[in-house]
Structure 1
C-alpha cells in the first residue's frame, strides 16, 4: 500500500486511490482560502486543488493538462490537480499559496504545516 507524506502526516492508502479524496479524508485541506468553498468538487475544471507531487502517480491526461495550461497555472511549474491524480506509489506532496495554488510561496510541505 502506498504512503503519502503531506502536511506533516504519513498516510497509507490503496493503490489507485484519488489523491484529493485521500488528503481530505485525512484532514489535509488541498484548497487555499475561499477555494475550500468555491471549487469544482473534484471534476478537474477549477484548478484550485493544484499541488506539487513527487512519487509514482497516474499520467497527466488531456483534461488536466488543458486546465493546467490556462492562467494562472503553467505546465512549467509541474503542479498536478490532486482531484485528477491516482496514487500508484509512495508520494510527497507540497501545497503552494494562491487561490489556485499557483504561487511560488509554500503553504505546507510534506514535513510540516507552515
Structure 2
C-alpha cells in the first residue's frame, strides 16, 4: 500500500519515498517508480534503458559529468540548476543524466543513439559524410 504526498511522491509501507519517472525511447514509453533522490543515469542503467550510444557504453566517465555521453532531454521535471545547463537547454542540447537527481516526478527522453559529433549523410543511409 502507498500513500501519496502533495508533491506527487508515494511513500511505501517501508517508508521509502518513490516518485514517478516516465522514460521515452523513440516510440516506447516506460513508466518507473523510483526511490526519491536516486541518480537518473543509475536508474536508467538499472532499468536496462541505456543513455549511451553503442560506442560509449564502455567509453564513458562512469557518471562523473566529464564526457557528456549520457545526455537525455528533460521534458517535464526539475529546471536546470546550473547556468550552463540552462544555456545548453536554450540551444537544444540535452542534459547529462549523471547530473540529475530524480527528486520529483519527471519525464525524460533518451536522445538519438549516436556518438556526439557524428554526422549523418544527406541521403539518410546512416553512413558518415566525412572524408
Q: TM-score scaled by structure 1? A: 0.70
1:47 to 68, 73, 95: 68
Aligned to 1:100: 116
Q: Structure 1 residues 41, 28: closer, same or farther in 2, change over 3 A?
A: same
Find the aligned partners of 1:49 and 1:102 in 2 and give their Cα distance.
Answer: 15
Which protein is richer in helix relative to its size? Answer: 1
Residue 77 (str. 1) matches residue 128 (str. 2)? no
TM-score normalised by the chain length of structure 2: 0.62
> Could you tell me which residue of structure 2 aligns to residue 34 of structure 1?
55
Q: Secondary structure at the match of 1:22?
A: helix
Greater length-normalized contact order (CA 8 Å, ≥ 6 residues apart): 1
Task: Please tell me the root mean square deviation across aligned C-alpha atoms, in Å.
Answer: 2.7
Instruction: State whether structure 2 residue 86 is matched by structure 1 residue 86.
Output: no
Residue 108 of structure 2 aligns to a residue whose secondary structure is strand
- Give the deviation of 1:47 after TM superposition: 0.2
Matches of 1:86 and 1:22 in 2, distance apart? 10
Alignment match, 2:21: 4
Runs (4 or more) in structure 1 with deviation over 6 Å come to none
Question: Number of aligned pairs?
Answer: 96
Q: CA deviation at 1:101?
A: 8.9
Provide the C-alpha distance between the structure 2 equivalents of 1:10 and 1:99, rounded to a whole number of angstroms: 26
Residue deviations 1:18-48, cap 9 Å, x none? 0000111011011012011100010000000
Q: 2:45 aligns with which of 24, 32, 36?
A: 24
Pick the structure with greater CA Rg. 2
